[in-house]
Amino acid sequence: MQNHGRQSGTIPRAFYLMLLALLLFSAQTESATDNAGAKDATADALKTLIAGKRNPLLSSPDFSPLAEQLASLYRQTGYQLLWLPPNRNHTAVEQGLTMIAQAFADGLDPRYYDAELLRKNLTLAGSIATGAVQELAEFDTAFSIAFLRYANDLHFGRVSPQQLDYPQTFGKNRTLDIPALLAQALEHQTLNKLPDQLRPKFKQYRQLQNVLAAYRKLPKEANREALLFNASLHPFETHPQMPLLRQRLIQAGAMSPQSLAEDTIYSEALQQGVKNFQLQNGLLADGIIGTETAAKLNETLQQKILQIELALERLRWLPDDIDGPLIIVNIPAFQLWAFNDNDDSEPLNLKVIVGKALQNPTPVLFEKMRYLEFMPYWNIPQSILDKEILPKLYEDIGYLESQDIELVERNESDADSWDSVFEDLKSGRVRVRQRPGKNNPLGKVKFVFPNKEDVYLHDTSSPRLFERSRRDFSHGCVRVAQADKLAEFVLKNQPDSDWNNENILQAMSDSKTRRVSLKNPIPVLFIYSTSFVDQQGQVHFYRDIYQQDQLLLKALDKNLDQSGQNILSVKSQG
């Protein structure tokens, strides 16, 4: 009986276990409810902030252009914190801040992305209570906005090319989903690999990056002394600044730093260095230091760095899908390069003549070459007819015949008087064209890639102009030296092609016009870049013949002014 009594007064062990299970379940349910509530509160705070399109922690609070990308980024994580998770592990933030701090490697300014500002605020972010969802949302989105700004600038460029009247084919053909890439990089902790996914894939971009890094390592130029020449300096003349000239040439990579006498004679070694320097800068390599050569020698290191940065910006505007054979004309370089593929180390390189500066500038473009025409007619544009042909015709009624120019779409019965002919020509009712032959300015072959500017590549009847160092003489089309070599490049890249240099030269000496359509059209890219790395890895700097560098600088400055990011400051906390 006593044993039975003790058993009846004792709570069974099974009951304890059941009670403990209930308590644990209740605690877990409450914890889950708390977590769900915290997630909902975080999501609401993030959605509200994104909808407002402003973040007070940034020096440029308005992020309207990125609001859609920011929403897409946070949707992929269910609108939860990306950079400041509950465990406050700042590995991702540190990795990201290091990444944008190195933006200068691409010619971008880390200050533009609040790199220093965010690093200073990171300590403050770590001290925020987990329940302060509004503050956490502000800090988290501030980091996201900064990285999205950097990623977009690296991929698309800081300036829209359409601001500078570039065709729609520049800056628009982009396929990367930047928010998805950033979310993936955060998930897999691979932020350091993100820049390579965003950069242009062109070899030229990598080469310019390397040159930029090398130039930034050169000693800073404090109180740079100018080279002063009262008149052109010729070989073996004397000048007191010859040691400074030698130093300047070595710095430019135009001559090696071998031991030379520190005298004042313009020696053979210095002359060769000057010739190398002139070639690097698109000048006539005659070894004479004239006005243009002196001006280039006096350009500062910062000016050259700026030219490289502008070149990198323009390369970010190019379409993503350029592959295979490619023809590039760099307008201020007066050069053409024809590449078999993106990594072609020995491209065809030819001199070209481009449009007259500020009168008939050659446009930038990206089109596909569709056909070649051997022994072409020249369909004379109305503008050239009005300005150049008609005045000569007024002076000499036989001018058209002497130049092998014929009237098109005019009946013989209509030619009752020269007055009516002039009227038809001035009104555009009658077209005129020049027959193939020695007088035809298109030479013996033209390369056609239909475009709204109606420009093309072509041979020339005036090859002597290729001897000039500055070659902007055309009405906008691009004249090509050794056009037979370009024809050979184009036709050899066609399937089942039996064209060789021999039958190309034959077609260029025939009396009949012959059109050759391309089964595989070849991309043609006209660019404007005042710095360019050649196939030997040598950087060249060219004249800004169309003043496009100045226009781009103004556009960059305007964007900076509108963003309000000229002056960066840490938001006062406390």
| 3-class secondary structure, 483 | helix
Helix/strand/coil for 338:
strand
Cα separation, 449 vs 180, in Å, equals 36
Can 4 be counted among the known catalytic residues? Answer: no
E-assigned strand segments in 332-436: 335-339, 348-355, 365-374, 378-379, 405-408, 431-434
Q: Exposure pattern of 377-412 as b/e (b: 16+ CB <10 Å)? A: bbebeeeebeeebbeebeeeeeebeebbbebeebee
**Which among 273, 224, 283, 227 has a CA at the least distance from the CA of 252?**
273
Max CA distance (Å), the chain: 145
Query: Which of 140, 128, 123 has its CA nearest to residue 45?
Result: 140
Q: How many CB atoms lie within 10 A of CB 418?
A: 11
Burial of 10 (0-12, 13-18, 19+ CB in 10 A): exposed
Any catalytic annotation for residue 234?
no
Q: Which of 155, 188, 458, 540 is catalytic?
A: 458
DSSP string for 200-254: ---HHHHHHHHHHHHHHHSPP-SSPPPP--SS-B-TT-B-TTHHHHHHHHHHTTS
- Are 370 and 518 in contact by the 8 Å Cβ rule? The answer is yes
Contact assessment for residue 313 and residue 158, using Cβ atoms and an 8 Å cutoff:
yes
Residue type, 445: V
Contacts 24+ apart (CB under 8 A), 337-345: 337/535, 338/486, 338/489, 338/490, 340/493, 342/201, 342/202, 342/203, 343/203, 345/535
C-alpha 137/C-alpha 47 separation (Å) is: 9
**What span, in angstroms and rounded, lies between the C-alpha atoms of 272 and 102?**
38
**Cα–Cα distance for residue pair 353/235, rounded to 1 Å:** 30
Catalytic residue among 188, 234, 477, 540: 477
Amino acid identity for residue 242 in this structure:
M
Residue 497 to residue 274: CA distance in whole angstroms: 45
User: What share of residues in the chain are helix, strand, coil (percent, to 5)?
Assistant: 45, 15, 40
Catalytic residues: 458, 477
